[in-house]
Amino acid sequence: MEAKVLKQYVVDAFTDKVFGGNPAAVCVMDEWLPDAVMQKIAAENCLSETAFTVREGEGYRLRWFTPGCEVKLCGHATLATSFVLANFYEPEAEEFHFQSLSGPISVKRQGERFQLNFPASKFEPVEITQELVEAVGFTPKEAYLAASYLLVMECEEDVQNYQPDFSKLMQIPKGGGVLITAPSSHEGYDFASRCFFPKQSINEDPVTGSSHCTFVPYWSKRLGKKVLTARQLSRRQGTLYCEDCGERILISGSAVLYSKAEITVPVDTI
């Protein structure tokens, strides 16, 4: 059977150790595959995101797929893509420019870290309804809505110990997911979080760069500081170094290669 062979890399992002942070698959391609094929590859990988990128002019176009759908923005898979480009395709490059469904984004190399330049999220306070409380299983101190719910808890321990019922989270009245957060009790960190997207076939995302486009403006205003360090408290955990620049959010982190391989796509599916 005739097939197209693609190189695929799996990178753990927002960590400096394998098996930490958030793993993303990355395919750097000469030309686009059909959307349905890219969706099948993402489903086969069964990671929270698979990134596909193709060079366009002086930069790249970048797309992200969960096992269930294409998404508009993904931080850890953008970091992973930049890591792959820097290590295997353009080792001399200091900055990468991407076009995406969320507009232009860029990534700068900073030693062992990569700094993502993302659009800030706009969010509004929302009523804490009984429907929301029943879906998430607790009463938040504050609630906001952007692309997902942002729910503020009392303390980091509450975030760490939260045990969601994913079947109920599927019933949240609005938004694509649930982001929970609280001030950090650990020295050197400003806030902690966890992120859940069962509607997108991701029960808990280990480390979510794009959600910090919402977290950072909230905590920047609440804490009165522009530069923040964040912990995401999933089982894998991760660290994000953030800066609130108004309309843009800078998010920095490290990454490490887990695997590189070839994947086979039957030509009759293309």
Q: Is 49 a catalytic residue?
A: yes
Transcribe 200-265 into DSSP letters.
GTEEEESS-TTTHHHHHHHHHHHHT-SEEEEEE-SSS-EEEEEEE-SSEEEEEEEEEEEEEEEEEE
Q: What angle do CA 203, 39, 43 make, to 5 degrees?
A: 45
- d(CA 120, CA 81) in angstroms, rounded, equals 21
- d(CA 159, CA 185) in angstroms, rounded, equals 11
CB 121 within 8 A of CB 213: yes
Identify the H or E element spanning 26: strand 22-29
Q: Which of 31, 44, 49, 134 is catalytic?
A: 49
- d(CA 54, CA 79) in angstroms, rounded, equals 16
Extended strands (E) in 121-209: 124-125, 142-145, 149-152, 178-183, 191-197, 202-205
Which one, of 116, 122, 120, 121, lies nearest residue 250 by Cα? 116
Which one, of 130, 116, 104, 89, lies nearest residue 216 by Cα? 116
What phi and psi, each to the nearest 5 degrees, are found at residue 70? -85, 145
Write out the catalytic residue numbers: 49
